[in-house]
């Protein structure tokens, strides 16, 4: 079977190889992979930033959709022919995150989905809603579930709330869809007018070009009549947290998800205290969360936004696209 291995850090370290088709052990199934999707985490893993001591070689990418083609002893969750997606955290079934539950990520601690076939524990897989294509389903394990846990599980957004979203990457666009599904008013920022025009199809209530309006928190306060937003999906990190806090209402909630603008800065502790703000770190979610999300998506027929598609042999180009940060929505690789 075909596989792509990361043999040294950097995009040049991605190499096509031929491997034996895996035989599923007890508790495992073998998947014939149909599609994969990229996350920022995959890029920083390949570049050696996420874990410079990562043992190599490894097959990258955490998120994929496949069809069960063989079943190991003791598996009852799935049958041959079922379509499934991976979990970002293979061992997090339910409950709160723990060190043990966050210990394994495909594409990092174990081989990932960038191969024709893979053997995975059946417990670490989720059934795919029938209405989604393989490529759409491949976008769910990380970006969609992160947005779901942020908006639904932790922030408990409800009708009438106002939610602020940053940028047009996968997490932000899923969060936009979930917030609208719940009846919230949505405000989304981007530095690209072209991307803001594309957003029209998802019907956000308000858009802000942060390049034209660097003090976008003030604009958010104007939109909300001086009150501020109830919830912020914070994907920027160090470079945007100050503005997010300024845009927040007293008693509001920030989901800290990304570090696109940096991993460290001065923490405005006095402002957090004065606002009585909750700042909650979010690292994806559990299998229970994923199954609840899939049920809600199916009920509302929500569709992931796919911005770029690449063939299997074009995987390095897909990573380069992610690195350039010019995409809108998710980047997928077709098998």
Predicted confidence at residue 325, as pLDDT, reads 83
> In this model, does residue 119 exceed pLDDT 70?
yes
Confidence check: pLDDT of 72 > 70: yes
Give the per-residue pLDDT at 310. Answer: 97
What average pLDDT does range 94-101 have in this prediction? 96
Q: Which pLDDT score is estimated for 316? A: 95
Question: Using one digit for the tens of pLDDT, what is the confidence trace for 176-188?
Answer: 999 999 999 999 9
The length of the chain is 335
Identify the band that residue 39 occupies on the pLDDT scale cut at 50, 70 and 90.
Answer: very high
189, 208 Cβ separation under 8 angstroms: yes
Name the token pair of 83. Answer: 């379509």
> Looking at the predicted structure, is the pLDDT value of residue 267 above 90?
no
Q: What is the pLDDT of residue 126?
A: 98
Quote the CA–CA distance of 309 and 300 in Å, as a whole number.
25
* pLDDT tens-digit readout, 205-254: 999 999 999 999 999 999 999 999 999 999 987 778 889 999 999 999 99
Determine the pLDDT at residue 326: 80
Helical residues (DSSP H) of the chain, grouped into ranges: 40-46, 134-137, 145-148, 170-181, 193-198, 216-223, 241-247, 269-275, 287-300, 315-324
- State residue 258's pLDDT score: 67
What was the pLDDT predicted at 23?
Answer: 96
> Whole-angstrom Cα distance, residue 229 to residue 245?
10
Confidence grade of residue 137 (pLDDT, cut at 50, 70, 90): very high
* Confidence at 287, pLDDT banded by 50, 70, 90: very high
Return the C-alpha torsion angle 200, 136, 108, 57, nearest 10.
-120
Mean of all residue pLDDT scores within the chain? 94
Q: What is the pLDDT of residues 153-170, one digit of tens each?
A: 999 999 999 999 998 989
- Asked whether residue 261 carries a pLDDT value surpassing 60, the answer given is no
Tell me, what's the pLDDT at 105?
96
Instruction: Indicate the pTM of the whole model.
Output: 0.94
- Concatenate the DSSP letters of all residues of 204-259 into one string: -SEEEETTT-S-HHHHHHHHTTTS-EEEEEE-S-TTTHHHHHHHEEEEEEEEE---
Tell me, what's the pLDDT at 269?
84
Residues of the chain above pLDDT 90, percent: 88
Q: What band does 283 get if pLDDT is binned at 50, 70 and 90?
A: very high
Helices 287-300 and 170-181: crossing angle in degrees, nearest 10, is: 60
Cβ-based neighbours of 247, under 8 Å, separated by 6 or more: 164, 216, 217, 220, 221, 228, 229, 232
Q: Decide: residue 247, CB within 10 A, 0-12 exposed, 13-18 middle, 19+ buried.
A: buried
| pLDDT above 80 (res 265) | no
Q: What is the pLDDT of residues 105-115, one digit of tens each?
A: 999 989 999 99
**Domains of the chain with bracketed CATH:** 2-139+304-334 (3.90.180.10), 144-281 (3.40.50.720)
Q: Which of 68-82, 256-270, 308-322 has the lowest mean pLDDT?
A: 256-270
CB–CB of 1/70 below 8 Å?
A: no
Contact partners, residue 57, CB within 8 Å, separation at least 6: 5, 6, 7
Residue 254 makes CB contacts below 8 A (sequence gap 6+) with 231, 232, 234, 241, 244, 245, 248, 277, 278, 279, 280
First and final C-alpha spacing in the chain: 12
Interval 135-142 mean pLDDT: 98
> Is residue 107 within 8 Å of 62, Cβ to Cβ?
yes
Task: List all residues 6 or more positions away from 149 whose beta carbon is below 8 Å from its beta carbon.
Answer: 282, 284, 285, 289
Q: Is the model more confident about 17 or about 242?
A: 17
pLDDT, residue 240, reads 86
């Amino acid at each position: 079977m075909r596989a792509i291995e990361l043999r040294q850090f950097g995009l040049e370290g991605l190499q096509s190889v031929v491997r034996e088709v895996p035989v599923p052990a007890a508790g495992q199934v073998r998947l014939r992979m149909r599609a994969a999707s990229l996350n920022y985490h995959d890029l920083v893993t390949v570049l050696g930033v996420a874990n410079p001591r990562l043992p190599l070689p490894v097959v990258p990418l955490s998120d994929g959709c496949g069809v069960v083609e063989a079943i190991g002893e003791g598996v009852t969750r799935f049958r041959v022919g079922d379509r499934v997606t991976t979990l970002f955290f293979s061992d997090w079934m339910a409950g709160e995150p723990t060190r043990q539950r966050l210990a394994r990520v495909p594409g990092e601690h174990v081989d990932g989905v960038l191969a024709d076939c893979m053997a995975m524990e059946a417990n670490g897989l989720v059934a795919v809603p029938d209405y989604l294509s393989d490529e759409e389903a491949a976008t769910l394990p990380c970006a969609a579930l992160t947005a779901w846990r942020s908006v639904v599980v932790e922030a408990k957004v409800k009708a009438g709330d106002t939610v602020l979203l940053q940028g047009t990457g996968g997490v932000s666009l899923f969060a936009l869809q979930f917030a609208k599904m719940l009846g919230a008013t949505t405000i989304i920022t981007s530095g690209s007018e072209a991307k803001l025009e594309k957003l029209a199809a998802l019907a956000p209530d308000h858009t802000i070009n942060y390049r034209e309006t660097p003090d976008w928190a003030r604009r958010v306060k104007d939109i909300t009549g001086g009150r501020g937003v109830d919830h912020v999906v914070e994907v920027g990190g160090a470079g945007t947290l100050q503005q997010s806090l300024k845009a927040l209402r007293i008693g509001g909630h920030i989901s800290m998800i990304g570090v696109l603008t940096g991993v460290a800065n001065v923490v405005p502790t006095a402002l957090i205290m004065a606002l009585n703000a909750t700042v909650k770190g979010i690292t994806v979610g559990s299998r229970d969360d994923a199954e609840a999300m899939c049920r809600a998506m199916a009920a509302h027929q929500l569709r992931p936004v796919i911005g770029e598609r690449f063939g299997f042999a074009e995987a390095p180009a897909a990573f380069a696209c992610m690195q350039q940060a010019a995409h809108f929505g998710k980047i997928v690789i077709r098998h």
